[in-house]
């Protein structure tokens, strides 16, 4: 079976949403819970099979802590690793021999991409975007907007000296 057929079969069996862009190029959407979706490119190249998944844009702050987290996390990942592009945006990438591409292996790799991107997403946001999250929380509170999708970050705005979360006054 060709790599292209193996990929299509694996994606269909997993019931994943994908677009076949050209022969050997797939844009796959993995559903998540913390990161609502992770977009993944699966690309058959001349001598290798590539996996590339966008995780998060360049952190606003605390770059050293974010990158330290990613480097440590790399030691626990299967088949993929974190990297940054020229702009500092964060990706998961992997390269495999064409002879290793199977439905079972693709299932493991896509599972790892989803586990890492979804599981690490809030930690990356906390480390690299804490100031923006706090500012967004206060802005929403001041306008009576929903805080539903910020609840995972409530601890970043917990009371300091009696201040209520999101309160603009002490």
* Contact (Cβ atoms closer than 8 angstroms) between residue 51 and residue 80: yes
Instruction: Work out the mean pLDDT of the chain and round it to a whole number.
Output: 92
Q: What is the CATH number of domain 3-128?
A: 3.30.1460.10
Note the pLDDT of residue 160.
Answer: 62
User: Alpha-carbon distance 32 to 91, whole Å?
Assistant: 16
Note the pLDDT of residue 109.
Answer: 97
Query: Which is higher by pLDDT, 144 or 169?
Result: 144
Q: Residue 12: which residues within 8 A CB-CB, separation 6 or more?
A: none
Note the pLDDT of residue 158.
Answer: 77
Helix, strand counts (H, E) of the chain: 3, 6
What confidence tier does 22 reach under pLDDT thresholds 50, 70, 90?
A: confident
Report the chain's C-alpha Rg in angstroms: 19
Q: Which two tokens stand for residue 169?
A: 């006054």
Note the pLDDT of residue 16.
Answer: 96
As a whole-number percent, the residues of the chain with pLDDT over 90 amount to 88
**Mean pLDDT on 149-165:** 75
Note the pLDDT of residue 100.
Answer: 93
Quick check: 161 pLDDT over 70?
no
* Domain positions in the chain: 3-128
Dihedral Cα 150, 154, 156, 158, nearest 10 deg: 150
**Mean pLDDT on 14-20:** 95
- pLDDT tens track for 57-116: 999 999 999 999 999 999 999 999 999 999 999 999 999 999 999 999 999 999 999 999
Note the pLDDT of residue 164.
Answer: 52
Long-range CB contact pairs, 37-46, < 8 A, 24+: 38/113, 38/114, 38/117, 38/118, 40/110, 40/113, 42/7, 42/106, 44/3, 44/4, 44/7, 44/98, 44/101
As a whole-number percent, the residues of the chain with pLDDT over 70 amount to 93
């Amino acid at each position: 079976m060709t790599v292209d057929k193996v990929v299509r079969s694996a994606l269909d069996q997993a019931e994943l949403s994908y677009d076949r862009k050209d022969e050997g190029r797939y844009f796959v959407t993995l559903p998540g819970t913390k990161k609502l979706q992770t977009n993944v490119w699966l690309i058959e190249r001349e001598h290798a099979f590539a996996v590339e998944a966008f995780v998060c844009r360049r952190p606003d702050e605390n770059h050293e802590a974010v990158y330290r987290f990613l480097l440590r996390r790399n030691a626990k990942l299967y088949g993929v690793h974190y990297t940054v592009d020229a702009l500092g945006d964060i990706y998961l990438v992997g390269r495999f021999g064409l002879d290793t591409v199977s439905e079972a292996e693709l299932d493991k790799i896509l599972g790892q991409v989803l586990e890492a991107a979804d599981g690490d997403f809030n930690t990356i946001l906390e480390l690299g975007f804490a100031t923006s999250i706090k500012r967004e929380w206060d802005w929403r509170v001041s306008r009576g907007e929903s805080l539903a999708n910020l609840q995972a970050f409530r601890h970043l705005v917990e009371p300091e000296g009696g201040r209520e979360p999101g309160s603009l006054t002490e």
